[in-house]
């Protein structure tokens, strides 16, 4: 194209793409038929289109009047596989860190340590999830041996500050959570999915200056 | 991507402009560019001399990211390549890595992939034809299309837990089996869909103004379409009977019986905007056929092949091709034996479609440019990756 | 903490549902009816003769001989203008609400339903919002023209109200060249569009302005010729004269009196759609092509004026078509003599006269709203034509068609006796009714054709 | 036609300029001398029986160890339904190769992308500009040795990671806890009312955040 342009063949406008212009080549009766055919087409297709749109005046709109005029909370209407905010039940967390490894964008940070009071017991001193960065892919849920980390159906995570979206599941490193030891042939006693998160969210409504989910600030430099 | 003024100068340098010509930026924020794309357009009044697409506003370096995350971890990123048809982006990547590893998904997984993929194709085509009607000036079809798509989104949400970024496929299979009672819901929806498509046609497809706006506009001849490497519905709209699902079969597609709609030039010339539009409408019906067959023949068994948790394919390379809603999606993966890809390349239909717009833009009207962009069904993140 | 502003109508509606309904009812019926009644009271007084006589009788004041008479006449004219302007604004607002609700239903949505009962106050909220917004003027815009452009449009909108009859007596003035006047002054709107497009110093606005100019100028021709058809049939250019030449029953309407007029009606409506920049001719603002076209750079109150003009123009378009083709305010069964006898010779008419007036205004309003609904309905069904197609439609189809209708009407007036016209009227009326029934049946079938769909009026 | 047959044809036409079909795992490919790439492509496209009319993809792979950049061509024939992968290697220091734009128009944009992301210069290309990145971008991101400049025109691309470890149980703290436990035991032995084990708490608070 560029060569043509530089040679100036595009100086004037190029011919528009060849159009099939039946009107110009065909005999008069055909052209007359076409002329009135266009009008007939307009009437016919407008008739159909208008009848379709009019019929929608008496059909049910599908609008869901989120958030206040729904039969129940939208979060409760979602399917069980829905991948909303992540929730961790620390009482069944084995501290295996499989979720941290599985996360492709490193939004999970788990630190473990020895319990100072009982050196034989290992504890989780930190289990942070940066929900603001999480892309809700579900890859962390899959390797979890006890189902401690789960996607809930909660999705309303508006906070005043993006920092408040770092959910610290071990709020206080001074009170770490001990490792859970799975019992063979027995399901881990996990709390129902969503319950823990809902409770925490209710405690920290979004207008709070800083969510109580988050102990004030990490050690900033 | 270029800074606008530079591109203005660039395009003016390349043509002899007259005093009456102006350079207009269609984008990056414009209602009809379907994402953040800029069309630097030189016009003389309503007639366009040339329109140069300027892309890259949504470039996120997804190919580079592919070199930095382990093989299974890249799957969620593929969702972001094409958010309107993420199922295919997932599937293409899974197919490519499976070929690299030499594993094969179990038959049930393949069938589920086909079901999920074809549902996703319907939802994508609804967006495509709906926004096309919107760009031509009819607002109502878009909301109807979105409503239908919403039903599919609900179904897919139930299947894989997300509405757009599915992350449903896994290397060697799929993440979940079908939920209970899901098949019945899908069949009920397909019954609705098949009858709804006729209403859609009455509402917009054959509308005289719509036909007049699209027929004989943006004609891409068969030769040109192949030369420019167009793919999918854009290629078929030009009359090329080529579909990866049938011609380079993957997954469960050899088991299904379906037609490949191609452009016929019904109201104008083969390869015009209306043909591309209508190919999409017909493809929805074909996809519905495929889903019905897949649900009827769905085999029992595993949904996930045995794959090591830490993937370390041997050094080598493989190509995974799938027929995405926007045409052939090609993943080219080079492995050096580590657990991350050495090079990961995604070739998408939208990128190729953008390449032809400058060629088509000579001597058309401003409104035609909008129609052409809409008919090529470009999605900005897929162009820029 | 829930931020509760005085304008948070949702919470107000929740707290005082009855108050909300009252306010809504007041806005919906009180304001327009108040304006109607005011019009009714003032319009008949609005001739110098009547004013003179009233001054003579009630105040024993010789107004006709007074040097201040023109001041008094002007004050009364301004009163009428005040009513007209307010009526325009209220109609423009209410029609946006109607349009949004109708569009919502047609698009499987709900539309505004929060502000006031059924969301009716949404248009008031919109207006308040627009007035409160910052009025930005682009740095490189032509300041004077940019500021002035909305008023050109406004003037073009308001002037036709002078001759548009809302009822038997509810008209500012009945010019003897009324039709001519209307076609002339509606062109003012395009001056506003062109000026705003130019003055904005934006490429999009320029595109829109030029498109608007080309479009309105072209469509003046078929519109003008099609409007000549009722003029021929009535033998007068006076709008009231044309209405009086028709009757209340559908077969007495001009549109059915003659096949050419039937065609001319559609030509006139199509052309007025184009002149009013309504879909499928909304090229000057084509939001998918030109972002917002000629008012792309406008904001705040100036934008509000443009939008008001656009919507209120529908009243002019529909009102004119109703007046010239669909029998205007003619109430079936009430003849001219009845109006005259009810008016009597005294200054204060008999109460029946007022009843007749209200009836005639209602008939006119119903017909006009029906046509306005059709415009809205068309807008949410049809795509937009391209600029060259718009031209070819005008010059290839509408102009020849309008001329043909004009000539056929001429011959018809000369050759066909009044009985023939009445028979044609009845036949065409019945034919139209049959088509309407067929259309409604088709509409009903559309619902059954889609599996899983049924008539359902819930979820408003 | 199978890949082997295509390869044989290439061999007879171009001799050493085209290698044999590779024996790698996965997809197999043909390596072509970079100066011959246009001829090979044109041959593939125009020869009856081959007719590779559809250029599916052109991309590149950076191999710093071998000091080359491979340009990879995926071509296909819609007529005969066969495909081939071609590779041409070019020097990594001054990567340059002839454009195949004259063979397939699709190459225009694909090559622009390679120019942008790998810095390969395509000789004779009609419109060789950056395509995805801004014109004034420094470097070619898909090269293996690319270093991020850390932003663009003052627009940063880094976010502070909020996932900082709050505190670590240190040895001092362990000793303190042990001492407290021991003290508690002593106190219990003395039968005195047990003192609550006071633990030095080090809450990670920042006064600035509170304000």
DSSP string, C310-344: HHHHHHHHHHHHHHHHS-TTPPTT--HHHHHHHH-
pLDDT tens for B294-332 read: 999 888 888 888 887 777 887 788 888 888 888 888 899
Q: What is the CA angle B269-B274-B275, rounded to 5?
A: 65
In the structure, what pLDDT confidence band is assigned to residue C433 with cuts at 50, 70 and 90?
Answer: very high
- The residue in chain C having the minimum alpha-carbon distance to the alpha carbon of residue A61 is C108
Give A142's contacts (C-beta < 8 A, 6+ positions apart). A102, B175
Interface test with B, best of D65, D74, D106 (most B CBs within 10 A): D106
> For residue A147, is it within any domain?
yes
Of C280, C459, C379, A59, nearest to B196 by C-alpha is: A59
Of A197, A189, A161, nearest to A84 by C-alpha is: A197
pLDDT at position A217: 46
pLDDT at position C250: 84
Q: What is the DSSP letter of D18?
A: B
Burial zone of D191 (CB within 10 Å; 0-12 exposed, 13-18 middle, 19+ buried): exposed
Q: Is A138 in contact with B167 (Cβ distance < 8 A)?
A: yes
The residue with tokens 């003849």 is C335
**Shared domain check, A176 and A138:** yes
- Domain residue ranges of chain B, discontinuous segments joined by +: 4-54, 62-384
Question: What 3-state class would DSSP assign to A150?
Answer: strand
pLDDT at position C437: 93
Buried b (16+ CB within 10 A) or exposed e, C424-457: bbeebbeeeeeeeeeeeebbeebbebbeebeeee
Answer with the residue of higher pLDDT: A70 or C415. C415
In the structure, what pLDDT confidence band is assigned to residue C345 with cuts at 50, 70 and 90?
Answer: low
pLDDT at position C387: 85
- The residue in chain C having the minimum alpha-carbon distance to the alpha carbon of residue A39 is C397
Q: Is B22 on the interface with C (CB under 8 A)?
A: yes
Domain count, chain A: 2
Of D111, D116, D113, D117, nearest to D97 by C-alpha is: D111
In the structure, what pLDDT confidence band is assigned to residue B3 with cuts at 50, 70 and 90?
Answer: very low
Give C306's contacts (C-beta < 8 A, 6+ positions apart). C150, C153, C192, C196, C294, C295, C298
> Going by beta carbons, is chain A in contact with chain C, meaning 3 or more pairs sit under 8 Å apart?
yes
The residues pairing with A69 across neighbouring beta strands, listed in sequence order, are: A65
Rounded to an integer, what distance in angstroms lies between the CA atom of residue C109 and that of residue C101? 9
pLDDT at position C436: 92
Answer with the residue of higher pLDDT: A14 or C328. C328
Q: Is A55 in contact with C105 (Cβ distance < 8 A)?
A: no
Query: Chain B to chain C, count of Cβ pairs less than 8 Å apart?
Result: 98
Q: In the predicted model, is pLDDT for residue A98 greater than 70?
A: yes
> For residue A211, is it within any domain?
no
> Between the ranges C158-162, C378-382, D44-48, where is the mean pLDDT highest?
C378-382
**Shared domain check, A92 and A28:** no
> For residue A155, is it within any domain?
yes
pLDDT at position C313: 86
Structural domain harbouring A96? 74-203
What is the overall mean pLDDT for chain A? 74
The residue with tokens 């019986």 is B257
Q: In the predicted model, is pLDDT for residue A220 greater than 80?
A: no
Contact B81, B90 (CB under 8 A): no
Residue D84, Cα to own-chain centre: how many angstroms?
23
> For residue A217, is it within any domain?
no
The residues pairing with B42 across neighbouring beta strands, listed in sequence order, are: B23, B50
**Shared domain check, A95 and A181:** yes
pLDDT at position B7: 52
Q: What are phi and psi of B92, to 5 degrees?
A: -60, -45
3-state secondary structure D106-173: CHHHHHHHHHHHHCCEEECCCCCCCCCCCCCCCCCCCCCCCCCCCCECCECCCCCCCCCCCCCCCHHH
Give D135's contacts (C-beta < 8 A, 6+ positions apart). B1, B2, B3, B6, D129
Q: In the predicted model, is pLDDT for residue C447 greater than 60?
A: yes
Give the DSSP H/E element, type plus range, for residue A41. helix A28-55
pLDDT tens for C276-299 read: 888 788 887 777 778 777 888 888
Answer with the residue of higher pLDDT: C230 or C83. C230
Give the DSSP H/E element, type plus range, for residue C12. helix C9-15
ipTM of predicted complex: 0.80
User: Of A23-32, A99-108, B280-289, C448-457, which gets the smallest average pLDDT?
Assistant: A23-32
Q: In the predicted model, is pLDDT for residue D205 greater than 50?
A: no
Give the DSSP H/E element, type plus range, for residue A129. strand A122-130
pLDDT at position D197: 43
Token pair for B231: 């793919």
pLDDT at position C448: 83
User: Of A119-128, C71-80, C259-268, D19-28, which gets the smallest average pLDDT?
Assistant: D19-28
**Shared domain check, A109 and A78:** yes
**Shared domain check, A84 and A48:** no
> B273-297 and B366-376 are packed helices; what angle lies between their axes, rounded to 10 degrees?
20
CA distances from D141 to A58, B67, B71, D115, D125 (A): 56, 12, 20, 11, 21
**Shared domain check, A86 and A154:** yes
- The residue in chain D having the minimum alpha-carbon distance to the alpha carbon of residue A163 is D162
Q: In the predicted model, is pLDDT for residue C441 greater than 80?
A: yes
pLDDT at position D26: 67
Contact B50, B358 (CB under 8 A): yes
User: Closest to B269 (Cβ–Cβ): which among A20, A51, A82?
Assistant: A20
Rounded to an integer, what distance in angstroms lies between the CA atom of residue D2 and that of residue D21? 11
**Shared domain check, A156 and A84:** yes
In the structure, what pLDDT confidence band is assigned to residue B10 with cuts at 50, 70 and 90?
Answer: low
In the structure, what pLDDT confidence band is assigned to residue C237 with cuts at 50, 70 and 90?
Answer: confident
Minimal Cα–Cα distance from D2 to chain A, Å?
Answer: 36
In chain B, residues 277-316 whose CB comes closer than 8 Å to chain D: 314-316
> For residue A106, is it within any domain?
yes
**Shared domain check, A82 and A26:** no
pLDDT at position C347: 62
pLDDT at position A14: 40
**How much of chain D is helix, strand and coil, in % rounded to 5?**
30, 20, 50
Rounded to an integer, what distance in angstroms lies between the CA atom of residue C219 and that of residue C233? 22
The residue with tokens 């005999």 is A27
Interface test with A, best of B51, B160, B208 (most A CBs within 10 A): B208
> C399-415 and C259-275 are packed helices; what angle lies between their axes, rounded to 10 degrees?
150
Token pair for D44: 């593939």
Minimal Cα–Cα distance from D23 to chain B, Å?
Answer: 10
Q: Is D150 on the interface with A (CB under 8 A)?
A: no
User: Closest to D134 (Cβ–Cβ): which among B2, B10, B240?
Assistant: B2
In chain A, residues 124-143 whose CB comes closer than 8 Å to chain D: 125-126, 128, 130
pLDDT tens for D14-46 read: 777 777 777 776 677 888 888 888 888 888 888
Contacts of A220 in chain D (CB under 8 A): 206, 208-209
> Going by beta carbons, is chain C in contact with chain B, meaning 3 or more pairs sit under 8 Å apart?
yes
CA distances from C24 to A175, C13, C315, C447 (A): 59, 10, 22, 33
CATH number at residue A101: 3.30.70.3270
Domain architecture of chain D: domains with CATH? 3-123 (3.30.460.80)
Give A207's contacts (C-beta < 8 A, 6+ positions apart). A160, C1
Question: What 3-state class would DSSP assign to D98?
Answer: strand
Minimal Cα–Cα distance from C389 to chain A, Å?
Answer: 13
**Shared domain check, A105 and A165:** yes
> For residue A221, is it within any domain?
no
Give the CATH superfamily of B62-384.
Answer: Cytochrome-c3 Hydrogenase, chain B (1.10.645.10)
pLDDT tens for B26-52 read: 878 887 777 788 888 888 778 888 888
**How much of chain C is helix, strand and coil, in % rounded to 5?**
75, 0, 25
Q: What is the mean pLDDT of residues D1-16?
A: 76
In the structure, what pLDDT confidence band is assigned to residue B264 with cuts at 50, 70 and 90?
Answer: confident
- Determine if the peptide bond prior to D178 is cis (ω within 30°): no
Of C395, D170, C224, D66, nearest to A125 by C-alpha is: D170
pLDDT at position C435: 92
pLDDT tens for D166-196 read: 555 566 666 776 777 778 777 777 765 444 4
**Shared domain check, A135 and A28:** no
Q: What is the DSSP letter of C57?
A: I
Query: Chain B to chain D, count of Cβ pairs less than 8 Å apart?
Result: 102
Rounded to an integer, what distance in angstroms lies between the CA atom of residue D21 and that of residue D30? 5
Residue B274, Cα to own-chain centre: how many angstroms?
17
Rounded to an integer, what distance in angstroms lies between the CA atom of residue C231 and that of residue C405? 12
pLDDT at position C47: 67
Say how many C-beta atoms besides its own lie within 10 A of residue D189's C-beta. 8
**Shared domain check, A198 and A113:** yes
pLDDT tens for C35-79 read: 766 766 666 666 677 777 777 777 777 777 777 777 877 777 777
> Between the ranges A72-86, B148-162, C268-282, where is the mean pLDDT highest?
B148-162
pLDDT at position B56: 83
Q: In the predicted model, is pLDDT for residue C1 greater than 50?
A: no
pLDDT tens for B57-84 read: 888 888 888 888 888 889 889 988 888 8
In the structure, what pLDDT confidence band is assigned to residue C327 with cuts at 50, 70 and 90?
Answer: confident
Contact D10, D29 (CB under 8 A): no
Rounded to an integer, what distance in angstroms lies between the CA atom of residue C217 and that of residue C211? 10
**Shared domain check, A78 and A50:** no
Give the DSSP H/E element, type plus range, for residue D74. strand D68-77
Contact C232, C409 (CB under 8 A): yes
Rounded to an integer, what distance in angstroms lies between the CA atom of residue C366 and that of residue C362? 6
Give C39's contacts (C-beta < 8 A, 6+ positions apart). C80, C83, C87, C166, C170
> For residue A157, is it within any domain?
yes
3-state secondary structure chain B: CCCHHHHHHHHHHHCCCCCCEEEEEECCCCCCCCCCCEEEEEEECCEEEEEEEECCCCCCCHHHHHCCCECHHHHHHHHCCCCCCHHHHHHHHHHHHHHHHCCCCCHHHHHHHHHHHHHHHHHHHHHHHHHHHHHHCCCHHHHHHHHHHHHHHHHHHHHHCCCCCCCCEECCEECCCCCCCHHHHHHHHHHHHHHHHHHHHHHHHCCHHHHHHHCCCCCCCHHHHHHCCCCCHHHHHCCCCCCHHHHCCCCCHHHCCCCCCCCCCCCCCCCCHHHHHHHHHHHHHHHHHHHHHHHHHCCCCCCECCCCCCCCCCCEEEEEEEEECCEEEEEEEEECCCCEEEEEEEECHHHHHHHCHHHHCCCCEHHHHHHHHHHHCCCHHHHHC
Question: What 3-state class would DSSP assign to A187?
Answer: coil
What is the overall mean pLDDT for chain B? 85
Q: Is C108 in contact with A63 (Cβ distance < 8 A)?
A: yes
Token pair for B323: 């027929």
> C418-449 and B182-200 are packed helices; what angle lies between their axes, rounded to 10 degrees?
160
């Amino acid at each position: 194209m560029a060569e043509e342009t530089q040679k100036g063949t595009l100086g004037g406008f190029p011919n528009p793409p060849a159009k099939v212009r039946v009107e110009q080549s065909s005999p008069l009766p055909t052209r007359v038929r076409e002329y009135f055919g266009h009008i007939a087409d307009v009437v016919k297709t407008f008739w159909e289109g208008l009848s379709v749109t009019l019929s929608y005046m008496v059909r049910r709109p599908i609008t869901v009047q989120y958030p206040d005029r729904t039969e129940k909370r939208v979060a409760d209407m979602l399917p069980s596989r829905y991948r909303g905010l992540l929730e961790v039940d620390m009482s069944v967390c084995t501290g295996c860190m499989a979720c941290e490894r599985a996360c492709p964008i490193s939004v999970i940070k788990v630190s473990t340590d020895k319990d100072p009071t009982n050196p034989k017991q290992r504890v989780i001193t930190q289990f942070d999830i940066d929900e603001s960065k999480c892309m809700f892919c579900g890859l962390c849920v899959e390797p979890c041996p006890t189902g401690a980390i789960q996607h809930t159906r909660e999705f309303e995570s508006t906070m005043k500050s993006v920092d408040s979206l770092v959910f610290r599941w071990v709020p206080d490193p001074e009170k770490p959570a001990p490792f859970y030891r799975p019992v063979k042939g027995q399901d881990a006693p996990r709390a129902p999915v969503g319950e823990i998160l809902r409770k925490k969210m209710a405690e920290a409504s979004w207008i709070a200056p800083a969510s109580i989910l988050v102990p004030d600030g990490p050690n900033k430099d | 991507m270029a800074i606008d003024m530079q591109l203005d100068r660039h395009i003016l340098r390349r043509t002899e402009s007259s005093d009456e010509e102006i350079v207009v930026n269609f984008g990056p924020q414009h209602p009809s560019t379907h994402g953040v794309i800029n069309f630097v357009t030189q016009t003389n009044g309503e007639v366009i001399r040339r329109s140069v697409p300027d892309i890259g506003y949504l470039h996120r370096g997804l190919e580079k990211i592919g070199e930095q995350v382990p093989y299974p971890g890249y799957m969620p990123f593929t969702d972001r390549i094409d958010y309107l048809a993420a199922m295919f982006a997932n599937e293409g990547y899974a197919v490519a890595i499976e070929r690299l590893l030499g594993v094969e998904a179990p038959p049930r997984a393949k069938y589920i992939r086909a079901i999920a993929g074809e549902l996703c194709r319907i939802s994508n085509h609804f967006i495509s034809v709906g926004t096309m009607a919107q760009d031509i000036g009819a607002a109502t079809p878009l909301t109807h299309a979105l409503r239908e798509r919403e039903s599919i989104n609900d179904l897919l949400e139930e299947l894989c837990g997300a509405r757009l970024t599915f992350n449903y496929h896994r290397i060697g299979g799929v993440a979940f089996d079908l939920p209970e009672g899901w098949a019945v819901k899908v069949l009920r929806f397909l019954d609705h869909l098949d009858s709804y498509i006729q209403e859609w046609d009455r509402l917009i497809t054959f509308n005289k103004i719509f036909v007049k706006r699209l027929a004989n506009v943006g004609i891409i001849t068969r030769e040109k379409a192949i030369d420019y490497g167009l793919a999918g519905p854009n290629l078929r709209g030009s009359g090329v009977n080529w579909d990866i699902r049938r011609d380079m079969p993957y997954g469960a597609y050899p088991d299904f019986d379906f037609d490949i709609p191609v452009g016929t030039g019904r109201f104008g010339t083969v390869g015009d905007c209306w043909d591309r539009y209508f190919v999409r409408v017909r493809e929805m019906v074909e996809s519905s056929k495929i889903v019905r067959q897949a649900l009827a023949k769905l085999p029992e068994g595993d949904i996930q092949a045995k794959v090591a948790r830490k993937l370390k394919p041997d050094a080598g390379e493989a190509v995974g091709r799938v027929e995405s809603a926007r045409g052939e999606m090609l993943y080219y993966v080079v492995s050096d034996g580590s657990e991350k890809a050495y090079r990961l390349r995604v070739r998408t239909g939208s990128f190729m479609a953008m390449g032809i717009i400058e060629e088509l833009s000579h001597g058309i009207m401003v409104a035609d440019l909008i129609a052409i962009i809409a008919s090529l069904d470009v999605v900005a993140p897929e162009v820029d990756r | 903490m829930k931020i509760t502003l005085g304008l948070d109508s949702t919470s107000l509606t929740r707290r005082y549902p009855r108050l909300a309904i009252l306010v809504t009812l007041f806005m919906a019926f009180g304001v327009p009816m108040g304006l109607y009644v005011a019009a009714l009271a003032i319009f008949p007084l609005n001739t110098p003769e009547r004013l003179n006589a009233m001054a003579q009788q009630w105040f024993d004041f010789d107004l006709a001989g007074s040097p201040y008479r023109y001041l008094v006449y002007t004050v009364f004219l301004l009163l009428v203008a005040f009513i007209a302007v307010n009526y325009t604004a209220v109609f423009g607002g209410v029609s946006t609400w109607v349009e949004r609700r109708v569009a919502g239903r047609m698009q499987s949505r709900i539309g505004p339903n929060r502000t006031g009962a059924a969301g009716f106050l949404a248009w008031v909220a919109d207006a308040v919002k627009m007035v409160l917004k910052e009025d930005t003027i682009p740095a490189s815009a032509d300041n004077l023209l940019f500021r002035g452009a909305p008023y050109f449009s406004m003037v073009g909108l308001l002037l036709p109200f002078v001759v548009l009859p809302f009822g038997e007596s509810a008209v500012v003035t009945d010019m003897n060249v009324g039709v001519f006047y209307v076609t002339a002054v509606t062109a003012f709107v395009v001056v506003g569009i062109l000026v705003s497009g130019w003055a904005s110093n934006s490429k999009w606005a320029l595109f829109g302005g030029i498109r608007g100019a080309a479009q309105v100028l072209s469509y003046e021709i078929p519109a003008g010729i099609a409007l000549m058809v009722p003029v021929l049939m009535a033998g007068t250019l006076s709008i009231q004269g044309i209405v009086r030449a028709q009757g209340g029953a559908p077969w007495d309407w001009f549109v059915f009196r003659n096949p050419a007029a039937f065609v001319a009606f559609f030509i006139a409506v199509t052309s007025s759609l184009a002149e009013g920049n309504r879909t499928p001719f909304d090229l000057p603002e084509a939001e998918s092509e030109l972002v917002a076209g000629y008012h792309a750079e406008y904001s705040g109150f100036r934008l509000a004026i443009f939008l008001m003009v656009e919507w209120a123009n529908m009243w002019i378009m529909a009102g004119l078509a109703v007046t010239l083709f669909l029998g205007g305010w003619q109430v079936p069964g009430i003849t001219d003599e009845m109006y005259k006898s009810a008016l009597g010779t005294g200054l204060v008419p008999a109460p029946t006269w007022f009843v007749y007036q209200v009836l005639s205004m209602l008939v006119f309003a119903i017909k006009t709203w029906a046509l306005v609904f059709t415009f809205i309905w068309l807008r949410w069904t049809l795509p937009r034509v391209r600029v060259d197609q718009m031209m070819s439609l005008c010059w290839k189809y509408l102009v020849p068609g309008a001329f043909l209708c004009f000539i056929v009407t001429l011959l018809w007036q000369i050759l066909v006796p009044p009985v023939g016209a009445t028979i044609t009227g009845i036949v065409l009326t019945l034919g139209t009714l049959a088509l309407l029934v067929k259309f409604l049946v088709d509409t009903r079938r559309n619902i059954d054709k889609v599996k899983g769909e049924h008539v359902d009026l819930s979820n408003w | 036609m199978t890949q082997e047959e295509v390869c044989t044809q290439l061999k007879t036409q171009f001799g050493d300029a085209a290698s044999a079909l590779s024996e790698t795992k996965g997809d197999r490919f043909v390596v072509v001398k970079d100066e011959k790439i246009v001829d090979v492509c044109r041959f593939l496209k125009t020869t009856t029986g081959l007719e590779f009319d559809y250029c599916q993809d052109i991309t590149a792979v950076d191999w710093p160890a071998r000091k080359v950049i491979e340009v990879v061509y995926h071509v296909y024939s819609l007529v005969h339904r066969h495909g081939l992968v071609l590779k041409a290697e070019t020097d990594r220091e001054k990567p340059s190769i002839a454009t195949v734009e004259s063979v397939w128009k699709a190459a225009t944009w694909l090559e622009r992308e390679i120019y942008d992301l790998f810095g390969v210069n395509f000789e004779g290309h009609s419109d060789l500009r950056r395509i995805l990145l801004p014109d004034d971008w420094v470097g070619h991101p898909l090269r293996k040795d690319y270093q991020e400049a850390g932003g663009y025109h003052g627009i940063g691309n880094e976010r502070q990671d909020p996932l900082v470890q709050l505190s670590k149980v240190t040895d001092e703290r362990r000793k303190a806890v042990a001492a407290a436990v021991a003290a508690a035991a002593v106190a219990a032995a003395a039968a005195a009312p047990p003192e609550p084990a006071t633990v030095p708490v080090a809450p990670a608070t920042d006064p600035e955040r509170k304000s």
